[in-house]
Amino acid sequence: MKENYDLWINGKWEASETKDRIEVVNPATGKVFASVADASTADFKKAIDAAEKAYYEGPWGKSTPAERSKIIWKLADLLEAHADEFAEVETMNTGKPLETQCKPVDVHDSVDNFKFYSTLARDTHGIVAGEYVEGITHVFRHEPVGVVGQITPWNYPLQMAVWKIGPALAAGCTIIIKPASNTPLTTLMLGEIAKEAGLPDGVLNIVTGRGAKGEILATDSSVRLISLTGSSGTGKRLMELASSTVKRVHLELGGKAPVVVFKDADLQKAADIITLGATFNSGQDCTAATRIYVEEGAYDELTKLVVKSFEAVKVGDPLKSDTDMGSLISKSQLERVSGFVERAVKDGAKVLTGGKQLTEFGDGYFYAPTVIVDAAQDSEIMQQEVFGPVITISTFKDEADAIKLGNDVIYGLAASVWSSDIGKAMRVSHALEFGTVWINNHLAVASEAPHGGFKQSGFGKELSLEAVKEYQITKNIAITTEA
Ligand code: ADP
């Protein structure tokens, strides 16, 4: 890691044309430890030009699937070789535990993702040719969409970058990626190893800047697709901006995952996984377990188990090997989470455990794992995304009621169903309008399995072959074969 980063454009570090900097803070200590450039629109334009040149004139446009596959695999190998450094920087930049999260998940799974996309670069199935009109042979080509803009959030900085860069490279696109302004480091660190892996200059450009600076990626006519993982507000804004050039839009936005627990479920297992699902990455996860609905009759038992399990979560120094949960990402996120809980209490809800900032860890932004009950279904805490280690527990009467309550939010990213009756679990999972529904599980993700939202959680998949398809466009070539 360097202390002060420039922009990664056309295969080298380029100073921003402005002198504006963004300070990078360690949220577990509240201390600044690095800085990056706050790029101007002209800097973004330079990166777009580099990506355009690399796509239309550079070797990437002519690369074979085998060549792309080899480079992506090498990139995975180099990331693995630098795994400890990437994990340490991710911990410093996000406050999440090094041993239990950054090493085994953020970095390990990113290596796996790149390897997976390396293999998909060669998966050319589905390209067909046929004679549908006499004297003409049709050939359907799956071409890269071209230059793409990608904007990532702060909750999984490296992983979200890899989830976007991997399929775009596999498809043959060139990229301008803008990480979240408070967590830019591990994305910037990918620049040099991508070059070392043999990625031609200009294929991957990494530009840092505060929020709205990235809007040019949605408006510039050379950019063919804009992909965002972020808030619903930013998604709506980018979708609106993208309409001026009829740009493809790929959005992974907020979530408010319901967890539907039937009486016949293994309640201890449900409580343990609800705890993990709500406190992993301090609950700053759009698939986090947030709204727990338990069948009447099992409420007291499940609530007791969940509270006990929440109180056993070890919160603290992310560098200590036995820490389960680190800090929140920033002071403003701490204020946001506190505000949600305070307003829920004002609205009549009750806090069973947590509900406060933890101040024993110095100036870091720590918040206690929090269980709330007696919240109304239409209250803010039940309807809006908190993005902190906070859950509500409430009851449902029967299957139909569980489905109605589960679906009663604007979001549709992820949900889970808990029951020992597989038929019932399948019926409910089918009726829940969410992109991922776990049965007797919550949070599990695999490179092979599509991830993406329904409703206002966005559209377009990440992970799996479907992610590569997002970065491809089908061309029909009709060849006259008559003599
Ligand atoms: P969060 O609440 O997670 O910060 P945001 O949607 O604000 O969600 O941020 C997600 C990503 O979108 C970040 O990289 C952020 O800088 C970027 N972003 C925020 N606002 C805009 C905008 N108006 N145009 C382009 N990118 C934006």
Q: Domains of the chain by range and CATH?
A: 4-253+457-477 (3.40.605.10), 257-446 (3.40.309.10)
Predicted pLDDT at 211: 84
Ligand 1: centre distance to CA 266 (Å): 39
- Using alpha carbons, list the distances in angstroms from residue 13 to 4, 10, 61, 169, 417: 11, 8, 23, 21, 48
Does the C-beta of 483 come closer than 6 Å to ligand 1?
A: no
Does the C-beta of 152 come closer than 6 Å to ligand 1?
A: yes
Q: Whose CA is nearest to atom 23 of ligand 1?
A: 212
Atom number in ligand 1 closest to CA 210: 16
User: Tokens representing 394?
Assistant: 């409430």
Per-10-residue mean pLDDT for the chain, 483 residues long? 95 96 97 97 98 97 95 98 98 98 98 98 80 92 96 98 98 98 98 98 98 94 98 96 98 97 98 98 98 98 98 97 97 98 98 97 95 98 98 98 98 98 98 98 96 97 97 95 86
How many whole angstroms separate alpha carbon 75 and alpha carbon 196?
8
Atom number in ligand 1 closest to CA 235: 6
Atom number in ligand 1 closest to CA 179: 14
Q: Whose CA is nearest to atom 9 of ligand 1?
A: 230
Contacts of 9 (CB under 8 A, 6+ apart): 43, 46, 47, 50, 205, 206, 207
Predicted pLDDT at 127: 67
pLDDT digits (tens, 9 = 90+) for 381-416: 999 999 999 999 999 999 999 999 999 999 999 999
Say if CB 288 and CB 392 are below 8 A apart: no
Ligand 1: centre distance to CA 467 (Å): 21
Half-sphere exposure of 458 (CA within 13 A, CB side): 32
> What residues does 310 pair with on adjacent strands?
none
Beta strands in 71-151 (DSSP E): 129-133, 136-144, 147-151
Say if CB 5 and CB 184 are below 8 A apart: yes
CA torsion, points 213, 217, 218, 223, in degrees to nearest 10?
170
* Mutation probe of ligand 1 site: the residue of 188, 234, 250 with most atoms within 8 A of C-beta: 234
Ligand 1: centre distance to CA 211 (Å): 5
Q: Whose CA is nearest to atom 16 of ligand 1?
A: 211
DSSP label at residue 183:
S
Predicted pLDDT at 1: 86
Predicted pLDDT at 483: 80
Nearest to 60 by CA among 168, 159, 152, 160: 168
- Using alpha carbons, list the distances in angstroms from residue 405 to 217, 238, 295, 396, 439: 38, 30, 12, 8, 17
Ligand 1: centre distance to CA 178 (Å): 10
Q: Give the predicted TM-score (pTM) of the model.
A: 0.97
- Using alpha carbons, list the distances in angstroms from residue 342 to 335, 356, 373, 377: 10, 9, 13, 17
Residues labelled catalytic: 252, 286
Does the C-beta of 211 come closer than 6 Å to ligand 1?
A: yes
DSSP string across 345-358: HHTT-EEEE--SEE
The H or E element spanning position 364 is none
Does the C-beta of 390 come closer than 6 Å to ligand 1?
A: no
* Mutation probe of ligand 1 site: the residue of 38, 44, 151 with most atoms within 8 A of C-beta: 151
